């Protein structure tokens, strides 16, 4: 989880640099185009033997929503906010994605169960502390 937060932070810092010269829509386009290039080889291997007829209409709508809503629109909004706020103010929000992924993973990561290793719990608690401290600093509070 710590690696995910570091990658998100780097993504935000470099995104701010790029968003200064490109519009949020253009930045979102290039991020998604780069992701397409990165994921296409693996997707092509998986697609060879896949039976596309097994995907229901609801499944195709979910794919469309994921592509347009969760990827395209979300990144346009993210880069618009990043251009206005800057990386330092946006940083606490980058920690929310991996924390939300852990918290929403079938609600399994919060209570102790078979998947909650001590390392996962330490990572989660560490990220919550970082997020809390970032929010405090943003409000001008000190410990």
Structure confidence by residue, pLDDT tens digits, 18-28: 777 888 888 88
pLDDT value of residue 108: 47
**Per-residue pLDDT tens over the stretch 62-99:** 888 888 877 788 888 888 887 787 777 776 666 666 66
What's the pTM value of the predicted model, to 2 decimals?
0.57
pLDDT value of residue 44: 93
Query: Given a cut of 90, is residue 121 above it in pLDDT?
Result: no
Distances (CA, A) of 69 to 30, 64, 65, 97: 16, 8, 5, 16
pLDDT value of residue 45: 93
Between 122 and 25, where is the model more confident?
A: 25
Residue 42 — pLDDT band, cuts 50, 70, 90?
A: very high
């Amino acid at each position: 989880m710590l690696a995910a937060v570091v990658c998100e932070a780097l993504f935000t810092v470099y995104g701010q640099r790029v968003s200064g010269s490109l519009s949020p829509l253009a930045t979102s386009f290039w991020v998604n185009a780069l992701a397409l290039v990165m994921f296409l080889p693996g997707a092509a291997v998986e697609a060879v033997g896949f039976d596309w007829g097994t995907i229901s209409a609801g499944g195709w709508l979910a794919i469309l929503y994921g592509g347009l809503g969760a990827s395209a629109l979300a990144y346009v909004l993210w880069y618009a906010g990043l251009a206005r706020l800057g990386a330092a103010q946006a940083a606490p929000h980058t920690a929310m994605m991996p924390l939300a992924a852990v918290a929403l993973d079938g609600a399994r990561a919060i209570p102790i169960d078979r998947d909650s290793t001590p390392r996962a719990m330490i990572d989660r608690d560490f990220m919550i502390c970082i997020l809390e401290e970032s929010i405090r600093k943003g409000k001008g509070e000190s410990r």
